[in-house]
Every structure is written in structure tokens, then in C-alpha cells.
Structure 1
């Protein structure tokens, strides 16, 4: 069956590591379109060459997407078919492409998904954490103060939380999660999925944070961090206690704020007072 549909935008998932995860349909689609919009043409070229895909490529990344979209839309309105790929995984999932897809739909252009690998879903599938309800948060803010503020907003969420993180911030992010969510909250770190040094570690946040600090190999590569949602248990009480403590300490001395927050929420006072250092 031909994949050529004039004026169509194909959103194509690529492997996140192992090249054999590239679907037959994805390869055929990329061979048949008029042009491939790549997040980084240099990064995508080895994969395309491996599958003998000689289709012309153009760049569409976070720095040029706003300016490049109009030209790509015009090409599709003239009848050309375009495939959108990111460096790895499913486009738009913490990758460029949102503006292009939105503009294409607004212009009446058909958008067709060619599904495949997605690091967040791959990690969740082997995490052992509840998968019936989850939320994808992408990358947290790079600075600790902003990161903690965002984590505080998520502390009471009952869904499994999924984050992406970079190698130079993974240890700091885990430490902040342990502080905000509580050291006993269940978590899983998935590293280098489908690649040679793939690891999936499941431990309470406090232990996981210490593990990553001790084993510097666990600070290398690409990461998906997953945290169990708040339950009616100790870690839930600590998370709520930290939230209340954060409010009270703006007006009260830390010791008194911790004492009141512990009385209100039932969280251990030491877990709250230690977080205010």
C-alpha cells in the first residue's frame, strides 16, 4: 500500500537506542515522503543511512521552529508530503514539533501518527509502579529552588509521576525529590533504555538518591525518573507536612513551623524540620 498522501504530515517515531526498534511502516513512510523534517539532520543521518533512506532532509528544532513552520506548511499546501522526526523517540514528547502539528491541523492538513518508541512509556512499562493513572512532567526546572517549587506542587498528586532528566542534574533532582516527597516514597530510575548499559533501579527515593551519588556510572546517559503517587501512607503525610511547613515557615521560626505542621498533618516533625536547613 502506498504511503504517499499529498499534503500530509506524518509524525514518525524513531528508536530511542536500539535500531531494530524502528518499525517497517516508519521506514517505508520516510522513504516515500518528499522531505523529512529532522530535529538534527546530523544526528538523524546515520539512522537514515542504515535503512537506506535517501529522502531530502530539513532542520526543525527548538531554535528555528517558529520561523520554519510557515515554509513547511506551504510545501504541504502545494501537495508535498512531510515526515517529522526527532532525535529519538516520539516527536513532540519533550521534543520540537508542537507548532508544526498545530499549524498543520489549523491549515486543514492531515496529520498521521506512525507510532513507535517513547522513553516515558517504555520506562513505565517495566517500572512496577501503578500504570493505570500517570502524568508526564518532562524536564524539571534546572535550578534547585524552582525545581523544589514545582515538586511541591506535585507532592499531593496520587498518579505515578514521570520525569526526564539529564546526566548532570540527575543526582540533584533525586535529592530534591527525596526532600520534597519524602525519603520513603517509592521511585524507579530507568537509564539508557534499549542501549548497552540499560539499567532500571527501583528503591525508596532516599536510597535511590544515595545509590546514584555512590555509583557515578548511574549518572551517565539519558534518564527517566518515575515516582509513585501520594498514597494514604507515611510518605503521603510527609509530603503534605512539607507543603504545610513551607507555608508556615514564611511567617514562623522553622522549629515552631515544623511543630505545627507535624500536628496538623501527622508527619514526623524531624522529617519536616530537617528540610528547612
Structure 2
């Protein structure tokens, strides 16, 4: 049996009794970073053979895990923090086990994006988790445009060096919206800061962030949920020249072309 085990996202006391039991009974543990997982196991006096399973070797690790499972060994798979597979390695392993008909299960536990959603105080009845935004600007825009019109809260992971860039991209695609930046979840300096996308997030960026953004307001035309610039770009990507795209976007929004013109100058 292979068990995917959720581990603490900051506070070691958040590990569950089932997770500890599974790790103690495992014959082998596959982990994202052996040094990181060793600290967790040492804290609970658990001694197990550790093998790497990260994004650079996941296919090879999947073969080893599959082989161990077939031999009847009890295998635990963990990531550095939170639930394996979710914005972390593990999906290829899951797929290999399913296709081979080998049993596997999840030992649930801490989740950074769920905790951030609660701490943000934004609506949590409907939401979409989109992980980390793409590195390329064109890919970020394409992704965000797909979700701009959704009337549900959107949740993203963001590395400290990317937070300002990601917030700018969110504002360019969504226009003005409320958002929250949550960091150091479950730790002493846990913080949930609410802000407007146009304002950005002041101060030095430290630690991993979860960005939570309110959904689109109800509008007659879903394209109106886009920022003015992205609305014009939408039509240009469909093949219209800038003049016609500006005209179409103005009509959608019920405003004059001159009102939208400043958003098209650099297009």
C-alpha cells in the first residue's frame, strides 16, 4: 500500500495522529527533500529509509514506488509541506499506481491554500485554486483571462520574489478587486493582509505567500470582468485591429471610445 501523507505547513504540532502512525509503520518514505523530511521525522523520533521524489526525478521515483508496492512494502510519500500532488510532486506517482492497479490512499492534513482562504475573510463558498502563476507574461495573461469573469474567489501560490509581479498581472487582467496576501501560515508571525490590487502589497516580501482574490462582480457581459486593457486585447487577439477592438470594447462596457483610449496607447 502506498500512502500519500500530508505534513505540517509550518507548525510541527499540526501533524495528525494518522500521519504519525503511517510514517512509523512505513517501510520506506519518499520525500521532496530528504533533509527537510528528516527534521520532521527526527522531531517524532521516527527512523526510516528516505528516498527523493521531486519534480526532477518523479518518473524514476514512481517506478521505484510501484516496485516497492508490488513487493508488499508499505510506502509513504510526502512533500516538504502540506499535501503531496497539490502544487507539489506526486501526480505522476498517483497516475502510475492507478494504471498499474496498485492500491494507494491519502492521509489528509494541513493545506496552505485552504488555511489562506479562511484567513482572507473573502467568500469561500465557491473558489478556484490555480497554484503558481506561469513565469512567462503571455502565459500569465492567457491563464488569467480564462478566469477573469468567474464570480468566485481565486487562490494562488506566490514565491516572495514573484509577489509584486503576480499582483501587477492580477490587476492588469482583473482590474480593481479586493485581495489578501497570507504568509507564515501556522507560524508565530502569521499574517493576513487585505489590500486592493491597484495598491499592491507594500513592504519587504518574505516567506511563501498565498494570494486570495475576490471573484468578478455580476455583469451582463462576462468580458466586462476583464480590465479595460485586457478587454481591448481580447478582441485584438481575435484578429481585430486596435481601432475596431477599441470600438467593440467600448460598446460592451457602455462607455465612449475616448474613455477607453488611454488603455490602448501601448497596445
Per the normalisation by structure 1, the TM-score is 0.86
Residue of structure 1 in register with 2:69 after alignment: 76
Q: Is the 8 A contact 1:38 1:60 kept in 2?
A: yes
Answer yes or no: is 1:273 the counterpart of 2:262.
yes
Alignment partner of 2:143: what SS?
Answer: helix
Q: How does 1:35-114 map to 2 (within 5 A)?
A: 35-114=28-107
Residue of structure 2 in register with 1:228 after alignment: 214
Alignment partner of 2:140: what SS?
Answer: helix
Query: Any gaps of 5 or more consecutive residues in structure 2?
Result: none
Q: How does 1:111-126 map to 2 (within 5 A)?
A: 111-126=104-119
String of CA shifts for 1:199-248, please: whole Å, max 9, x gaps: 111222112x1xx2x312xx111011111111226998351754431134
Q: Is the 8 A contact 1:129 1:228 kept in 2?
A: yes
Answer yes or no: is 1:175 the counterpart of 2:163.
no
Residue of structure 2 in register with 1:32 after alignment: 25
Equivalent residue for 2:180, pick from 180, 188, 197: 188
Q: How far apart, CA to CA, are the structure 2 residues paired with 1:17 and 1:220?
A: 14
**How far did residue 166 of structure 1 move?**
0.8
Q: How does 1:196-235 map to 2 (within 5 A)?
A: 196-207=188-199, 209=200, 212=201, 214-216=202-204, 219-232=205-218
- Aligned residue pairs total 262
Equivalent residue for 1:165, pick from 142, 145, 158: 158
Q: How far apart, CA to CA, are the structure 2 residues paired with 1:131 and 1:165?
A: 19
Alignment partner of 1:129: what SS?
Answer: coil
Q: How far apart, CA to CA, are the structure 1 residues paired with 2:95 and 2:225?
A: 41
Q: How far apart, CA to CA, are the structure 1 residues paired with 2:261 and 2:208?
A: 32
Q: How far apart, CA to CA, are the structure 2 residues paired with 1:143 and 1:123?
A: 25
Alignment partner of 2:181: what SS?
Answer: strand
String of CA shifts for 1:114-140, please: whole Å, max 9, x gaps: 111011111112222221211111111
State which drifts further: 167-176 or 238-247.
238-247
Aligned-CA RMSD value: 2.3
Residue of structure 1 in register with 2:224 after alignment: 237
CA separation of 1:125/1:25 partners in 2, compared to 1, >3 Å: closer, same or farther?
same
String of CA shifts for 1:20-45, please: whole Å, max 9, x gaps: 11112211110111001101101111
Q: How far apart, CA to CA, are the structure 1 residues paired with 2:155 and 2:65?
A: 32
